[in-house]
Structure 1
Amino acid sequence: MNKKNLRFIIALSVEAKSIIELYKLKEINLPPNIFKIYKNIDLNIWLIISGIGNVNSAAATIYLYKSSPKNKKNIWINVGMAGSKNFDVGSIFNIKKVSYKNTLKEESFYLSTLVNTKIPINEIVSVDTPEYNFKKKKSIYEMEGYGFIKTVERFCSRELIIIIKIISDNEKIPPINFIKTTKHFMKSNIKALEELINDYIKISSSIKNKRKYNINIINKKFHITYSSKVIIEDLAFKFEKIYSRKELEIILSEAKTLKDFIREVKKKINSYVLKI
């Protein structure tokens, strides 16, 4: 049986119900039982109930990372309900930008656009308290995305991070009978969610081979120690997602030492991030 390597961060049990049923997850006893966790060990699928809010989402993400098997192919997924000014209730969105703002800071995070699906792409405004005014017309408001993305990007490539939001309420339809509404909309969108995840699984399955290739071409010129292997793999993989293999090979050909190569690759990656 092929493993799917999925890690779900879900705020509420009612939001997780359809996912638990789809993947036949079973609740486990994992002391100290800070969070409720479900898993399907055969498929390497884990799901954690974080509770509402960015702080809880971040804590649950770290907790699941430490509690479940680590694998570069693991796909990390945050699914939940959200509010909007004018999007129809029940609408599902594949989130590619997360914005967060408080009195001290303002941050934005961008997810990979490698996977294009039938699910419309949008962005979210992540807040610390429930939003009812919906000031921005085309924005989606929710309370867990920021805590999730800020935490998970520390140990997972953005190509393997998914944020999905389903509209539970808008300016005209308030969040009445949230449990019943959430069950209905999660169930009606579960097929679309599964199809999206399957596309990411295909991306995940190709990552190992591509990283091995990067190591091989670099190893032809420089001797890579075991301690340097992970660093080189991650840098080369990230570089090729931003630029091209040809540009990576040019840097490799011009570098006199492995240290020079690493420094130049990091410089190019950082300059791209600054442009965003």
Structure 2
Amino acid sequence: MRKTIKADLVIIDPQNDFMDIKHDGSGWVGATMPDGTLYRSTLPVPGALDDMRRVASMLKRVGRRLNDIHVTLDSHRVVDVAHPGFWRGQDGKRPAPFTMISNADIKSGMWAPRNESFRQRMLDYTAALEAAGKFVLMIWPEHCLIGSWGHNVVDELRVPLADWERENFATIDFVTKGTNTFTEHYGALMAEVPDPADPSTQLNGGFLSVLQEADVIGIAGEASSHCVATTIRQIVDNIGDAHLKKIHILTDCMSPVPPTPGSPDFPAIAGQFLKDMEARGLVLTSADDFLR
């Protein structure tokens, strides 16, 4: 039976590898296996775990009022255009995480794909990124590897999500992104440079149609500077202006990637993104105020 208000919740990449999970002051960790193996979050976003705890608390309050919950999952392979193992420098070494690779860097030979046959493809790819004014290709630590602990939804949210399914006889809509080796895929609706041969990188019209049918859309997740910002911009660019005012951004349920030496000011990018979205008519709200 249709609820009075069809409210959807979108949670972007609430995965272990993005969580700032601490243990005994020893750094970012995730879980210790019986054999003593320690799994660490590879790309922790400061504040992410508390963000997901706020989402979980909100879910307990409004769960029965939600029509659908959509959870996006960053899903990568070891060999990925944004992972160190894809590239080699002039010295034969892999780039360090957080290295930025421009079209000019490839042309000069500073960086080259490990498989030389991909050089022209990477020249075309980075040129397309730069022409579109998107992020410069950045090398991230290997993260959200398919099948790994880091790919899983963090337990603080995974358990409440499973409870919601049981209590409401409903299923979470898991939306994967990022499996294509040759293109970054920050946004849930399409890759940064869609691959004509791979439908998974092209506009996800099915997901967009579901969102168009909702009366209210709450959006939370990680990180506000990257996957959240890109996903929301993609929604705004494709959903139609009549739908914009129903999008509610839960600003206390997302955090930006911290800047690194030489990188852009990601917190400032996240802040400007929120201002831009508010100017477009989207609602900035909090976990406590959503669906009050």
Q: Same fold (TM over 0.5)?
A: no
Query: What TM-score comes out, normalization by structure 1 length?
Result: 0.28
Structure having the larger proportion of residues in helix: 1
In terms of Rg, which structure is larger?
A: 1
> Going by fraction, where is strand more abundant, 1 or 2?
1
> Which protein, 1 or 2, shows the higher relative CO under an 8 Å CA cutoff with sep ≥ 6?
2
Scaled by the length of structure 2, what TM-score is found? 0.27
